[in-house]
Amino acid sequence: MIATSTTTNPPPKQDIQTELNYWGGTNDPIIIDFAKPDGKEKFAEVENKQAKHPVLIHDIRGTEDQYTLETHGFQYFHDEVPELDDWTDERKVIDTLIPRSEELVRKITGAKETITFTHRIRCFASDDAKLADNRAPAHSVHTDFTVAGALRHLEAAVPESERLKQLLSGRVMIINVWRPLKTVHRDPLAVCDWQSTNPQDIIPFRLVLPQGWNELSKVQYNKDHRWYYLSNQQRDEPLVFKQFDSGKVEEGGCTLPHSAFEHPSMTEHEPRQSIEIKMFAFL
């Protein structure tokens, strides 16, 4: 059951000095084959190979309109959902917010078609991760796809070759719509301005599974990275950010680094509750 909360007026903006967990290994691509006996062990080793780096995460509260999906790779929007009358009912949340998010993305990007391919509700504290079925906030800097991983996922989602060819003739994006289910205090989500990244920061992380492979990435520390979040983010303030853009492949595909982070003054607050909805957008 998802807890309820009432919307309150947010306090003044607050930049946060904290640490983020970057990739602590080499810059060589990572491949984990779960068909091999040591696959799970190597996966655990990779997940634990982190390097903490101090970062300043800027609060954009009050200046949201200065950051855009096209320029920075992310954008916050005001989007009330009056038709959702019970935010504690996971089934209602999912059934309402998936079509609502697709509608929002089509409006923002001008996409002719959207296809949602996954969603996840996160509603546990990070220290409960072992019990949370991967529903705890992800406290490591990462991207959900590389360029190769995004194209592979698209091929799996659209198996008809002619239809796939038609869709690829235009611009294709993978968009993540990240929305709180109540006001976020603990473990907020930070996003990295795409303009401050370098393609060399992205370390491909391929997972080979019985049904195929997918490829996300770890991210190397770069002192030029510029990090942002929205303090006390409300459930009518969805964050929309890119995880792939076929129009920016030469620049690395706009696979935007992101991470949950520890807000030093909010560690005793109740766990964050949020939903992320990922979709293809065909322009």
Split into its structural domains, the chain has a count of 1
Q: How far is residue 123's CA from residue 225's CA, in Å, rounded to a whole number?
A: 28
**CA 277 – CA 178 distance, rounded (Å):** 6
Residue 83, φ and ψ in degrees, nearest 5: -75, -15
Whether 220 maps to a domain, the answer reads: yes
- Domain assignment present for residue 24? The answer is yes
Whether residue 6 lies inside any domain: the answer is no
Where does the pLDDT of residue 171 fall: very low under 50, low under 70, confident under 90, or very high at 90 and above? Answer: very high
3-state class percentages of the chain: helix first, strand second, coil last, to nearest 5: 25, 30, 45
The answer to whether residue 108 sits within a structural domain is yes
Q: What is the mean pLDDT of the chain?
A: 88
36-88 pLDDT, tens digit per residue, is 999 999 999 999 999 999 999 999 999 999 999 999 999 999 999 888 877 87
Residue 112 reports pLDDT greater than 70: yes
Look at residue 193 in the predicted model and tell me its pLDDT. Answer: 97
Tokens representing 155 are 């091929």
Structural domain boundaries, residue 189: 16-61+74-282
pLDDT of residue 132: 41
Q: What is the pTM of this model?
A: 0.87
Residue labelled with tokens 């640490």: 19
- Structural domain includes residue 7: no
Arithmetic mean of pLDDT, 216-220: 96
Rounded CA-CA distance 51/219 in Å is: 10
In a domain, 234, yes or no: yes
Has residue 25 been placed in a domain? yes
Residue found under tokens 């009056």: 82
Reported as a single tens digit per residue, the pLDDT across 127-155 is 444 334 456 678 899 999 999 999 999 99
Percent of the chain topping pLDDT 70: 89
| Contact (CB, 8 A) for 279 and 115 | yes
Beta bridge partners of 239: 76, 178
- Is the predicted pLDDT of residue 3 greater than 60, yes or no? no
Share of the chain above pLDDT 90, in %: 67
Please indicate, yes or no, if residue 4 is contained in any of the structural domains. Answer: no
- pLDDT at position 130 is 38
